[in-house]
């Protein structure tokens, strides 16, 4: 109760500020002309409709019976709405397992990438060692390497390491993210040296300085990188597709792409499994839209 009364006014002011920002933006871009506003609004509504259409159509199909889905592309099904497709997907298929695999692999990829890249970024930004400049130059140059061209040798390597059809095989090749090292290094460079010096004067070693000063100060960029890496890992198709053939180890994108082919012409079921596969990230996005939008923008731009 007490916290609510503390938080609510703040939210209200933030909303008011945002609304004022939007109104100012409208004035700056469109002026006071009603025609301009109406035209912009119509364009927005049309584009939104086009972009939401595939979602809407998938949702409608998924709630039809298979016979209705396979008879005509009508909006309203002849024999009423049905949950059968969802029940089938959740009880008869492997979707829940794939979902679990996706969560495990995406979370581990994100955590490992974040720790490894942040440490490397700190090493390049705030420590001195022989070969630092060369190592950094190699890291930056490697950003250019398209991962897809490495699938053939990487797969051979996985055979040698006996990592085919294992979580390690899915995860480890995905944690190498030179772009993220570069972004984090650039961000760490901007932390005032005085803060780090103060920590050193207080007797903190480089580890303490890193974990108690640098990491807390960099929360925003670390969250942004984490979001970016997570989306990439969650949606990665090619690598898990190549390294895993055991259905019980597949991630969502691989599972629904390869196994649902056996559903044949069950359109409602296919759409239901596609929507369930899409749901987790969409829910996360609805909850954290602001952070995700900012995160993607900063890492997307920061990478350059």
Partner 1 sequence: MSATTSDASAATPTSAPSAGRKDLRRSLREAERRAEQLHSGRSGYWFLLPFAVVFLVFLVWPIIYGIWMSLTDRTLIGTDPGFVGLANFIEAFGDAQVWQTLWQTVLFTVGSTIPLVLVAMVMALLVFTGLPGQWLWRFAFFASFLLPVAVVTQVWAWMYQPDLGLFNTWLGALGLDPVGWLTDPNWAMIAIIAATVWWTVGFNFLLYLAALQAIPEHLYEAAAIDGAGAWRRLFSITIPQLGRTTWLVLALQILASLKVFDQIYLLTGGGPNGATRSILLYIYDTGFVNYRLGYASAISYIFFALIVILSLTRFFGGRKEA
Residues 64-83 that bind partner 1 (CB under 8 A): 69-73
| Gap between the Cα atoms of 23 and 168, Å rounded | 51
| Distance of closest approach, residue 167 Cβ to partner 1, in angstroms | 15
Identify the residue among 3, 4, 5, 33 touching partner 1 (CB under 8 A). 33
- In this structure, are residues 264 and 144 in contact, taking their beta carbons and an 8 Å threshold? no
Q: Give, as ranges, the residues between 35 and 64 that touch partner 1 (CB under 8 A).
A: 36-37, 40-41, 43-44, 47-48, 51-52, 54-55, 57-58, 61
Residue 242, Cβ density class (10 Å: 0-12 exposed, 13-18 middle, ≥19 buried):
middle
| Gap between the Cα atoms of 79 and 70, Å rounded | 12
11: contact with partner 1 by CB under 8 A: no
151: contact with partner 1 by CB under 8 A: yes
Q: Give, as ranges, the residues between 81 and 110 that touch partner 1 (CB under 8 A).
A: none
190: contact with partner 1 by CB under 8 A: no
Whose Cβ is closer to partner 1: residue 48's or residue 212's?
A: 48
286: contact with partner 1 by CB under 8 A: yes
- Distances 122 to 10, 112, 173, 181 between C-alpha atoms, Å: 35, 15, 22, 9
Whose Cβ is closer to partner 1: residue 3's or residue 25's?
A: 25
148: contact with partner 1 by CB under 8 A: yes
198: contact with partner 1 by CB under 8 A: no
Whose Cβ is closer to partner 1: residue 191's or residue 281's?
A: 281
Candidate ranges 9-17, 81-89, 119-127, 218-226; the one touching partner 1 (CB under 8 A)? 119-127
122: contact with partner 1 by CB under 8 A: yes
214: contact with partner 1 by CB under 8 A: no
Identify the residue among 142, 211, 212, 245 touching partner 1 (CB under 8 A). 142
Site size with partner 1, rule: CB under 8 A: 104
Q: Tell me which H or E stretch contains 279.
A: helix 267-287
Backbone angle region of 21, left / alpha / beta, with phi > 0 → left and psi within -120 to 50 → alpha: alpha
- Distances 240 to 123, 191, 248, 297 between C-alpha atoms, Å: 31, 37, 12, 27
| Gap between the Cα atoms of 226 and 117, Å rounded | 11
- Closest by CA position to 120, among listed 100, 102, 140: 140
């Amino acid at each position: 109760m007490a916290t609510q009364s503390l938080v609510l006014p703040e939210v209200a002011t933030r909303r008011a500020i945002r609304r004022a920002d939007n109104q100012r933006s409208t004035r700056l871009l469109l002026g006071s002309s009603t025609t301009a506003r109406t035209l912009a609004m119509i364009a927005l509504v049309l584009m939104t409709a086009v972009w939401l259409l595939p979602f809407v159509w998938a949702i409608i199909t998924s709630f039809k019976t298979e016979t209705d889905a396979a008879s005509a592309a009508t909006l309203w099904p002849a024999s009423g709405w049905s949950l059968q497709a969802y029940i089938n997907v959740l009880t008869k298929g492997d979707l829940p397992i794939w979902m679990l695999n996706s969560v495990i692999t995406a979370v581990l990829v994100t955590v490992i990438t974040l720790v490894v890249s942040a440490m490397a970024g700190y090493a390049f930004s705030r420590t001195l060692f022989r070969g630092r400049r060369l190592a950094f130059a190699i890291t930056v140059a490697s950003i250019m390497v398209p991962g897809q061209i490495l699938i053939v040798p990487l797969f051979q390597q996985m055979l040698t390491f006996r990592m085919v059809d294992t979580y390690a095989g899915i995860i480890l090749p995905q944690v190498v993210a030179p772009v993220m090292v570069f972004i984090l290094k650039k961000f760490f460079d901007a932390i005032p040296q005085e803060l780090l010096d103060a920590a050193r004067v207080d007797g903190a070693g480089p580890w303490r300085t890193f974990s108690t000063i640098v990491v807390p100060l960099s929360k925003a960029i670390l969250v942004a990188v984490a979001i970016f890496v997570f989306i990439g890992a969650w949606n990665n198709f090619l690598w898990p597709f190549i390294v895993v053939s055991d259905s019980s180890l597949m991630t969502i994108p691989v599972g629904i792409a390869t196994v649902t082919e056996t559903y044949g012409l069950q359109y409602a079921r296919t759409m239901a499994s596609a929507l369930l596969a899409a749901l987790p990230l969409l829910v996360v996005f609805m909850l954290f839209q602001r952070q995700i939008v900012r995160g993607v923008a900063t890492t997307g731009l920061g990478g350059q």
